[in-house]
Chains A and B, each alone.
Chain A
Amino acid sequence: MSQIPILIPTTLLLTALVSLLAGLRSRKAGYGVAVAGAGIVFALALVGVRFVITSGEAIRYAAGSWAPPIGIELVLDHLSAYLAVLITFIGLLVLVYTPRSLRFEAPGKEVFAYPAMVLLLAGLTGMVLTGDVFNLYVFLEISALAAYALLAIGERGAPIAAFRYLLMGAVGGGFYLLGVGMLYFAAGTLNMADLHARLPELVESRAVISAAVLMVTGLGLKMALFPLHFWLPDVYANAPSSVAGLIAPIMTKVSAYAIIRIFLDVFPPGFFTESVPLTATVGWFSAGGIIFGSVMAIAQQDYRRMLAYSSVGQVAYVGLGIGLANPIGLIGGLLHILNHALMKCLLFLVGGAVRLRTGVVQIPDMKGLGRSMPWTMGAFTVGALAMVGIPPAAGFFSKWYLLLGTIEAGNWWWFGIVVLSSLLSAVYFFRVLEIIYRDPTSDPAEADGNPAAAVVHPEGEPPPTMLGPILVLAVAILVAGVLNVLIVNALLERAVAPLGG
């Protein structure tokens, strides 16, 4: 039991290596190893979260038996267990989904894509499990390097989008590392718990204040916090569907998690709210991002680009939760990490299924898909309604907590923005819903003899390895919605306890 925090990332690292070696011999073997590894890790994360909930205690593992704060510590507590389960769940589903989709969109790249995807998961789980600020940087870069490689697969513009992301990622990581350095030279430790104990004496120190600003700026870049989001739309729109389905739901969220982690568990209480108004800054930028992302999403014709802009807006909800800095608002932000990950993964996977069956990526061409792919489009409908925030789908509840948080903070601007953006996402998702459920034969454009508008889709549902994960996600969205009180009571209330609510 006490080894779970280290077993999750190391199993994934080993899986990546074995999957590559096996994949070079046989494509199927590489796939099998990757899925098996992700499955084992998901099971480990479930065991871990169960232990944390029942015992109410965190599992701490001292790497190499060097007692912290000298050695590196890995911590599975309420917050990291919550994210570890989410990351491994999404990872497992996307890995199962990948082969058919990727063989179609980027033939010949699968063998190298599985190990890179597993490495990405290793980096992200490491980021959430580590209890050391420098170790977090290392895992951040592992996940980032894997992501650059994955995103460069794909369409013609993919390498250039990935290259720009790499430059931004290097700057973001660099800022974070500079912050870590200043923190170390001021406080003499890298362990999060130890820093938390030592920093209260140093709140006046200029080095500590600059460290906080640098770390949040760096992670803000990685999180695509508006206006540092500019790298994101091109990256998601050029990537293969399965890669976008893996990276879009969890990668920016884990950076948001890292901000929440240092806000709650590294810097002393009140530091981010009073000494340096960082949470409020993040909150206002996020408020801008929510509006910007939603408006831009409405303007898109490309399905993937619409989802990418919607991601800019949705990750900003998490930022808004940080900005509120009261327990209920932050719970809303954290719950939105889960909800949005499920919804965005579902929507990207649906996009991949549509592309495999019809080759269509433009929204106006998706006409009549509701008839030829009823299950896939049923799942899409669940995801779209969840994005808009219609109960009992998951998206409603996180927005509800956020709204309660804005009321508690008395911030009516942010209250209005959350409500307004829900209306805006209703605009862009109902537009798609209307198109896919429109009867293609009764379309006037077709009567005019416009052949482009008269695409017929006789191909039907995607293969079971693709349809399965899509349906599981649709069910998960409903389950996460219905069980939200359970999740909040068992995990998130403990996670935000440092705020004292």
Chain B
Amino acid sequence: MTFELITGRYPYVLIALLLAVGLYGLITKRNLLKKVVGMTIFQTAIYLFFIQGATKTDATIPVLLPELGTAPERYINPLPQVIVLTAIVVGVATTGVALSLLLQIQRRFGSLDEAEILRKMKAGE
């Protein structure tokens, strides 16, 4: 039973794993750049969740084909894909801002190591 639950939904299991990996990296890594990598993995898992939810077998892209007619079950729902596109744009912008913040941090503290930066902040260097 449990086995079938996993094999039947293995994409969701993989997505959940990716979410966990991303969160783990974001929380535990000491290097701030690696935290950004964790954040990106976390966001990618969310994109995959939307794409997976919209997938259908035996269906094609949502462009009307004469031989398929207008039967909705023969076409993939385009809305989740559009949502993912928007979310990717947001994700790119977030990553961009994160990297530019890292540049500032690197310039001010000469390091991207969290413990090192905290030590320097305390010492007032």
Contact = CB atoms under 8 A, between A and B. Distances in A.
Contacts of A167: 26, 35, 39, 98
Nearest to A141: B90
Given A170-B39, A174-B42, A134 B83 contact: yes
A312 to B, nearest CB: 21
A12 interface: no
A472 interface: no
B105 to A, nearest CB: 5
A181 B90 contact: no
Contacts of B50: 181
Interface in A168-188: 169-171, 173-174, 177-178, 181, 184-185
B53 A185 contact: yes
A148 interface: yes
Given A156-B108, A159-B108, A181-B80, A170 B94 contact: yes
Interface residues of A, number: 28
B32 A138 contact: no
A430 B8 CA distance: 63
A145 B39 CA distance: 15
B26 A181 contact: no
A167 B117 CA distance: 17
Interface string B90-115: 10011001100110110011000000
Interface in A287-322: none
A19 B93 CA distance: 21
> In terms of DSSP, what is the predominant structure of the interface of chain A?
helix
A170 B43 contact: yes
B21 to A, nearest CB: 13
A149 B26 CA distance: 20
Interface string A182-215: 0011000010000000000000000000000000
A171 B42 contact: yes
A394 to B, nearest CB: 35
A163 B32 contact: yes
A166 B26 CA distance: 11
A177 B46 contact: yes
B87 interface: yes
Given A156-B121, A160-B117, A174-B43, A166 B101 contact: yes
A157 B123 CA distance: 12
16 contacts: A141-B90, A148-B101, A149-B97, A160-B105, A163-B101, A166-B98, A167-B35, A170-B39, A170-B43, A171-B23, A177-B46, A178-B49, A181-B53, A184-B80, A185-B53, A190-B79
Interface of A: 134, 137-138, 141, 144-145, 148-149, 152, 156-157, 159-160, 162-163, 166-167, 169-171, 173-174, 177-178, 181, 184-185, 190
